[in-house]
Amino acid sequence: MIILLIVLILSGFLSLQIGFMIILDCSFLFFPTTEGKIIEKHIGSRNLSNIDTIMDNWYFLFVTYEYKVQEVTYTSSKLNLFNDVMRRNLSDVESLAKKELVTVYYFPYQPSISAIYPLKWNKLIPLTVFIVSSFIFIILSNSLL
């Protein structure tokens, strides 16, 4: 019974945390924007076949960009709230990496908080964890009531 309660609490916490991060990442689309300049970029790759045979090579985009808000220059490497742009196709990442100028979405009350690619994170892992943890939470909460 105690183990079920612990799993219930952890699955509920995980569902809330990931759901909150998804909502926050969506909120960046409603923030003010400014133009930013990419000052450093590279593409990394990782073979994940030792973790899961379905996944082979994944390509990651790493960038550093600078932007100005009210004559103050900021530098960031945050792509989105999950801070990843991970794709199976190299060409998908390369198309994002070709850009020199980007649209920067920044938090109006603290412009140092920014993102250049909201909602372009790899949705496979967070959404899978969200769905599974929510399902576990619902099943356990119904069985404990």
41 phi/psi in degrees, rounded to 5: -155, 150
- What is the pLDDT, as a whole number, of residue 85? 65
Helix (H) or strand (E) holding 125: helix 124-144
Q: What is the pTM of this model?
A: 0.69
- The token pair at 98 is 């070709």
- Looking at residue 123, its pLDDT comes to 60
Q: What is the pLDDT of residue 143?
A: 79
| Predicted local distance difference test score (pLDDT) of residue 130 | 79
> Picking from 6-15, 47-56, 119-128, which range would have the lowest pLDDT averaged per residue?
47-56
Which region among 59-63, 74-78, 108-112 has the lowest average model confidence (pLDDT)? 59-63
If we measure between CA atoms, which residue out of 112, 44, 107, 119 comes closest to residue 79? 119
Residues 6-32: what's their mean pLDDT? Answer: 82
- Is the pLDDT confidence value at 95 over 60? yes
Alpha carbon distance 90, 102 (integer Å): 20
pLDDT level of residue 105 (50, 70, 90 thresholds): very high
State yes or no: pLDDT of 77 exceeds 80.
yes
CA distance 38 to 43: 14
Checking if the pLDDT of 112 tops 90, the result is yes
Contacts of 52 (CB under 8 A, 6+ apart): none
**Domain boundaries, given as residue ranges, for the chain:** 2-144
Q: Are 56 and 78 in contact (CB under 8 A)?
A: no
Contact 78, 105 (CB under 8 A): no
Ranges 23-32, 103-112, 125-134: which has the least confidence: 125-134
